[in-house]
Structure 1
Amino acid sequence: MLKELCNGTESSKCVLIQDGAEQCGRTVFLTFITGLLQRVDRVVLFCWEKPASYYRARITSKLSDRVDLIDCTEDPVSWLDLDSPTVDSNLTDLVRERLTAADKKCVVAIDSLSFLLLHRGAPYTCQALHTLKSCKSATGCVVEQVISLVHGNLHNDHDLRKLEHVSSSVVRVTSPPDQQHDMFCSVVHRRISGKVIKTTELVKLDGLNILSTQNWQHDSVKRSPEQAESIDPAANLTFNLTLSENEKEARRQLVLPYTKEQRRQPRIQSSVSSMIYYEPDKADDFDEEDPDDDLDI
Structure 2
Amino acid sequence: MLLELIQGTEGGGLIIIQDSIHYSGRTLLMSFIKAALKRDEVVHLLAFELHEEELKHELGHSCLQRLKFHNAFHDPLGWNENPPFTVHQFITSELDSLLTSNQHSKPVTLVIDSFSFILRHLSPSAVCKTLQQLKKGGAVKTTLGLLHSDMHHRNMVGSICHLATSVLTVAPGHQCHEAVAKTIRRAKSGKISQAVERFSISDDMTVKVQSKPVPVGSGQGEAGDAEVDPTANLTFNLRLSDQERQAKEKLALPFVFSKEKKSALLRPVPGSGRILYEPDANDDYDQEDPDDDLDI
Q: Same fold (TM over 0.5)?
A: yes
> Quick one: distance in 2 between partners of 1:203 and 1:246?
57
**What SS does the corresponding residue of 1:93 show, helix, strand or coil?**
helix
> Quick one: distance in 2 between partners of 1:256 and 1:11?
74
Q: How does 1:65-214 map to 2 (within 5 A)?
A: 65-89=65-89, 90-97=94-101, 99-101=102-104, 103-136=105-138, 142-176=139-173, 178-179=174-175, 181-207=177-203, 208-214=205-211
Partners of 1:17 and 1:170 within 8 A in 2? yes
Residue number in structure 2 paired with 1:30 = 30
**What SS does the corresponding residue of 2:207 show, helix, strand or coil?**
strand
C-alpha distance after superposition, 1:258-289 (max 9, x if no partner): xxxx8xxxx978689xxxxxxxxxxxxxxxxx
Stretches of structure 2 that go unaligned for 5 or more consecutive residues are 215-220, 228-237, 273-296
Q: Give the partner amino acid of 1:163.
A: I
Question: How high is the TM-score relative to the length of structure 1?
Answer: 0.70
> Quick one: distance in 2 between partners of 1:115 and 1:17?
14
Partners of 1:49 and 1:111 within 8 A in 2? yes
Partners of 1:40 and 1:107 within 8 A in 2? no
Instruction: Number of aligned residue pairs: give it.
Output: 250
1:205 CA drift (Å): 2.0
Question: How high is the TM-score relative to the length of structure 2?
Answer: 0.70
Residue number in structure 2 paired with 1:48 = 48
> Quick one: distance in 1 between partners of 2:249 and 2:18?
58
**What SS does the corresponding residue of 1:5 show, helix, strand or coil?**
helix
1:167 CA drift (Å): 0.9
Change in CA separation of 1:241 and 1:184 when aligned onto 2, cut-off 3 Å = same
Structure having the larger proportion of residues in helix: 2
Partners of 2:109 and 2:141 within 8 A in 1? yes
In the alignment, is residue 218 of structure 1 matched against residue 223 of structure 2? yes
Q: How does 1:8-19 map to 2 (within 5 A)?
A: 8-19=8-19
**What SS does the corresponding residue of 1:34 show, helix, strand or coil?**
helix
Q: How does 1:258-297 map to 2 (within 5 A)?
A: none
**What SS does the corresponding residue of 2:76 show, helix, strand or coil?**
coil
> Quick one: distance in 1 between partners of 2:269 and 2:28?
89
Q: Give the partner amino acid of 1:115.
A: F
1:77 CA drift (Å): 0.9
Q: Give the partner amino acid of 1:95.
A: L
1:111 CA drift (Å): 0.8
Q: Give the partner amino acid of 2:113.
A: D
> Quick one: distance in 1 between partners of 2:3 and 2:222?
18
Q: Give the partner amino acid of 1:121.
A: S
1:74 CA drift (Å): 2.6
Identity rate of aligned residues, in percent?
24
